[in-house]
Amino acid sequence: MITRTTLSPGITVLTLENASATAKVSLYGGHVLSYVPKGQKDVLFVSEKSLFEPGKPIRGGIPVCWPWFGPSADKTLPIHGFARLAQWNLVSSEEKEDRTTIVLECLPTDATRVLWPHDFRLLLSVTAGKSLELALTTENAGKETIRVSDALHTYFSIADARKVSVAGFDGARYIDRVGERTERDQAGEVTIVAETDRVYLGGKDCSVIDAVTGRSVAVRKDGFTDTVIWNPWIEKAKAMPDFADDEYLRMICAEAGSVLGNAFDVAPGASVTQRMTLVPGAR
């Protein structure tokens, strides 16, 4: 079953329900807000202080960072691009007993052309079932090659960031973005003991393991080159108006992306599809 509700003015949410899971997806931002596998708690975190207001990003769930990740080149444009600030349309849906798929699209408007003067079609396919499968397709509908960096900025709900670990990156190279940018090699699992903002290079998959609840969620990716691990920790949490002071303990972001030096080109008429799948219970 797919139901449509209005969460607040300009924020329409689709609820996808089947025998395996319930998921909620906002048409504003093409933004997955919730993914609850049957009998489990939500895999995703959304801040109790999140705004649900067109023009402002939603804090939590899975923001779509596109067509650039992080600040724009000249730092004057919205951080993480405009897809998470745009209204998307539902283009198709398919319902089976144990999985539901919807496909959303984001198209250029006068507002996007001011920020980024290109013609494009951006599609997000969301399948909720025993796993949550996302496929992001960038189509270049213009006459010039476009360069894109992007991420599915996934906020995982966890019991205590101090007791969470991210496995899969042992030996991987990463760019540490806290303070002066440095490159390092990961030894063992990633743990959170301070502000953490890292880009793990090299395409490895990972899993988020919550030692308190015993739940692990595998993050599998295909077509994305990097994984960003982010936790704002104490001071940054206090500085974010749409995030409660202690919520840094209840979330960790593990984001499949193609960021920084791994931005990619899409030729006129071509398209690129990148996938991320969250598998609860797997490593």
246 class by beta-carbon count within 10 Å (0-12 exposed, 13-18 middle, 19+ buried): exposed
Q: Toward ligand BG6, which CB reaches closer, 150 or 255?
A: 255
Catalytic residue selected from 118, 139, 153, 247: 153
Are 69 and 257 contacting, i.e. CB atoms less than 8 angstroms apart?
yes
CB 241, min distance to ligand BG6, A: 10
Neighbouring CB atoms inside 10 A of 200's CB total 24
Q: Toward ligand BG6, which CB reaches closer, 205 or 255?
A: 255
Residues 208-227 within binding reach of ligand BG6 (CB under 6 A): none
User: Which of 60, 224, 255, 258 lies at the binding interface for ligand BG6 (CB under 6 A)?
Assistant: 255
Neighbouring CB atoms inside 10 A of 79's CB total 13
CB 59, min distance to ligand BG6, A: 7
Are 280 and 37 contacting, i.e. CB atoms less than 8 angstroms apart?
yes
Q: Is 183 a known active-site residue?
A: no
Asked if residue 197 binds ligand BG6 (CB under 6 A), the reply is: yes
Asked if residue 79 binds ligand BG6 (CB under 6 A), the reply is: yes
Q: Toward ligand BG6, which CB reaches closer, 49 or 121?
A: 49
Q: Toward ligand BG6, which CB reaches closer, 75 or 143?
A: 75
CA gyration radius for the chain? 18
Asked if residue 150 binds ligand BG6 (CB under 6 A), the reply is: no
- Nearest CA-CA partner of 125 in 107, 106, 102: 102
C-alpha to C-alpha distances, 152 to 104, 219, 253, 255, nearest whole angstrom: 15, 11, 10, 5
Q: Toward ligand BG6, which CB reaches closer, 99 or 198?
A: 198
CB 65, min distance to ligand BG6, A: 7
Q: Degrees (nearest 5) of the Cα angle 101, 252, 217? A: 50
CB 251, min distance to ligand BG6, A: 11
Asked if residue 230 binds ligand BG6 (CB under 6 A), the reply is: yes
- Nearest CA-CA partner of 41 in 158, 212, 160: 158
Residues 45-64 within binding reach of ligand BG6 (CB under 6 A): 57
Q: Is 153 a known active-site residue?
A: yes
Asked if residue 153 binds ligand BG6 (CB under 6 A), the reply is: yes
Question: What gap in Å lies between CA 46 and CA 42, rounded to an integer?
Answer: 10
Secondary structure of 95-132 in HEC code, one letter for each residue: ECCCCEEEEEEECCCHHHHHHCCCCEEEEEEEEECCCE
Catalytic residue selected from 133, 139, 247, 255: 255
Q: By rule CB under 6 A, what count of residues binds ligand BG6?
A: 9
Calculated CA dihedral for residues 162, 281, 157, 262, nearest 10 degrees:
90
CB 156, min distance to ligand BG6, A: 13
Q: Toward ligand BG6, which CB reaches closer, 29 or 280?
A: 29
Asked if residue 228 binds ligand BG6 (CB under 6 A), the reply is: yes
Residues annotated as catalytic are: 153, 255
Binding residues for ligand BG6, rule: CB under 6 A, are 57, 79-80, 153, 177, 197, 228, 230, 255
